[in-house]
Structure 1
Amino acid sequence: MKWDPSKYAEFADYRSRPFFDLTGRIAAEEPRRVVDLGCGPGSLTAALVDRWPRARVTGLDSSAAMIAAASAASRPQNLDFEVGDIAAWTPPEDLDVLVSNAALQWLPGHQDLLRAWASALGSGAWLAFQVPGNFSAPSHVLMRRQAASSRWHSRLDGVLRHEDAVSEPADYLALLLEAGFDADAWETTYLHVLQGSDPVLEWVRGTGLRPVLAALEPQEASEFEREYAEALRHAYPAGPHGTVFPFRRIFCVARKR
């Protein structure tokens, strides 16, 4: 399954807002080392250098295409990018700030990873992450329903994650408190006003629809998209100012005692 940096960047303004809402709550003053897990094309990771210009900042992503895009841009000497598997990553000893924005939902059992990272982080270190909380929204429900239909079940069985892809805010809060952190958890539903033809389809093409498209042949993928787009138009009708697309996100920021 491949990531397309240009497709992901089409809604960059909307996708970047949760990152800044998340990192704005981190009160670290002079961190030595900052890591961004699931950094994507790197533009948001670069903002961490602006925030902490004396820190060593590293962005890590499993997509070679994303890291290639990140590495192609000019960057300061204290910023670097690496291809790597988040599930196999361990915090370095000097890590003071760990950030993950909209990545953990792709990792089954990421709650255990959070516990392991929390245990490895030193006293005073910060852990901040954001995950989408919209798996019960029409965009995802309709996708799963279509994938489970008689037409697509044999091709797409087991491809899509379900409602348990992420935990609820209270569950993350409890996990972090039990791990020895002072923690804050909250949720926000953004009301994105999207423009253009089938804008919700264009949005999910860059993220949640990727596993489906990767599992199908091109002609099948086009057929699936046509059917799915029609359902999305009914669920998210266009209005006089655009198409309103509600998007719930879950945030946690914590500091180790």
Structure 2
Amino acid sequence: MIEARHLHKTFGTTRAVQDVSFSVQEGENFILLGTSGCGKTTTLKMLNRLLEPDGGQVLLNGADTATIPAPQLRRGMGYVLQHTGLFPHYTVAENIAVVPKLLHWEKDAIQERTATLMQKLGLSYSEHAHAYPHQLSGGQQQRVGLARALAADPPVLLMDEPFGALDPITRDRIRTEFSELDEFKKKTIIMVTHDVQEAFTLATRVCLMDEGRIVQMGTPDQLREQPVNDFVRTFLKL
């Protein structure tokens, strides 16, 4: 479904991503794992052209994403940020409705989808739909961010440290809800994290990166049982 071919990205003299290639199949949970600065977020942003690669290609269902207008590409990929990225001057309902409005959905359809997602994600429509982000807890804001990414029912979901800004108890609860919710089970998900437990809990496959390169890629069991070098053993604390 999504294929990265020999991606490169440089910022000044820093080689952020070096010759990164992988394929993600429909329905997979593909986790980009590594320390801060290893290139995982840069890689994620090149998938929907928030950053343009200096070299290489990204294919979506066989089509080169460089040939797809960037706004059109991004509307087909939900995007979730660590700090939610909610518009502070929009209500919860308005935040969730952003992409459906861009796609010219009918007003009633937008309201129905918003209410459905809020209910699924544990938010009361009557209490929260007309609230502003600053009036919500961190966990509630993250749920709104997830709802916004899901609103237009995109087949692909990109997630950049989506639970990283939350306290441990809230993070564990939302992560569990995320893994069990039917809305997520039918998506192709590519997620960035530095948390080994999170990666191994959620991943179909893990792509461990260091210094802009892929060190090892495989299922959680493969990384645990067949680490390719000392870096993998140390990072995973094996």
TM-score normalised to structure 1 length: 0.24
Q: Give the structure, 1 or 2, with the largest relative contact order (CA under 8 Å, sep 6 or more).
A: 2
Look at both structures and tell me which one has the larger radius of gyration over its CA atoms: 1
